[in-house]
């Protein structure tokens, strides 16, 4: 398995897609139930293949990721050739960027001496989607990129 198996909730949300996937494998609903009981390892393999297919589709479309912690924001733009990072560090120990109040403080004080910025870029390895997946596994979430674009305009 290249990525990780989808959660139970994700499988439930993709129920129709999974049925279609099984159909492409010539597995009927009845056969699927039998597979799960008699050959659970084969059923697990089918779930893993489906999970990888879903991850590949999602990751190939991702353009922005955000990883926000108490004092840091890591905002990524994922272009065709590289990953661009805008990093924000808040040096006020009383601020938690994950809270409404903390982010509100940041919006008012983003130009203060308590905020540092860093930009960087990095070429992908041979597997662009796996690079994106690793960022997600480290806590990044897929976004539309509004925050990245806002900072990019300010910094430019």
Distance CA(133)–CA(136), nearest Å, equals 5
pLDDT attached to residue 52: 95
pLDDT tier at 153, thresholds 50, 70, 90: confident
Determine contact, residues 109/115, Cβ cutoff 8 Å.
yes
DSSP-derived letter for residue 127 is -
Cβ-Cβ contacts under 8 Å for 114 (sequence gap 6 or more): 90, 91, 92, 95
Over residues 70-122, the pLDDT tens digits come to 999 999 999 999 999 999 999 999 999 999 999 999 989 888 899 999 999 99
Distance CA(125)–CA(142), nearest Å, equals 20
155: pLDDT strictly greater than 80 = no
pLDDT attached to residue 76: 97
**Predicted structure pTM score:** 0.85
Segment 22-36 mean pLDDT: 91
Distances (CA, A) of 124 to 58, 59, 68, 82, 114: 17, 13, 22, 6, 32
pLDDT attached to residue 51: 96
Tokens of 82: 């590289």
pLDDT attached to residue 25: 87
Cβ-Cβ contacts under 8 Å for 4 (sequence gap 6 or more): 51, 55, 137
Over residues 37-72, the pLDDT tens digits come to 999 999 999 999 999 999 999 999 999 999 999 999
Q: Is 155 exposed, middle or buried (0-12, 13-18, 19+ CB in 10 A)?
A: exposed
pLDDT attached to residue 50: 95
Distance CA(128)–CA(62), nearest Å, equals 11
Spell out the domain ranges in the chain: 8-61, 64-155
pLDDT tier at 154, thresholds 50, 70, 90: confident
151: pLDDT strictly greater than 90 = no
């Amino acid at each position: 398995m290249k990525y990780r198996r989808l959660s139970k909730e994700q499988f439930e949300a993709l129920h129709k897609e999974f049925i279609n996937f099984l159909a492409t494998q010539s597995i009927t609903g009845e056969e699927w139930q039998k597979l799960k009981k008699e050959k659970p390892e084969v059923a697990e393999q089918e779930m893993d293949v489906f999970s990888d297919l879903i991850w590949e589709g999602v990751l190939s479309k991702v353009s922005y990721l955000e990883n926000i912690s108490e004092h840091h924001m890591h905002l990524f733009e994922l272009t065709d050739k590289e990953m661009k990072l805008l990093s924000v560090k808040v040096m006020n120990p009383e601020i938690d960027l994950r809270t409404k109040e903390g982010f509100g403080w940041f919006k008012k004080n983003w130009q203060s001496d308590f905020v540092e910025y860093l930009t960087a870029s990095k070429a992908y390895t041979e597997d662009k989607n796996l690079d994106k997946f690793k960022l997600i596994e480290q806590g990044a979430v897929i976004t539309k990129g509004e925050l990245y674009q806002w900072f990019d305009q300010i910094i430019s």
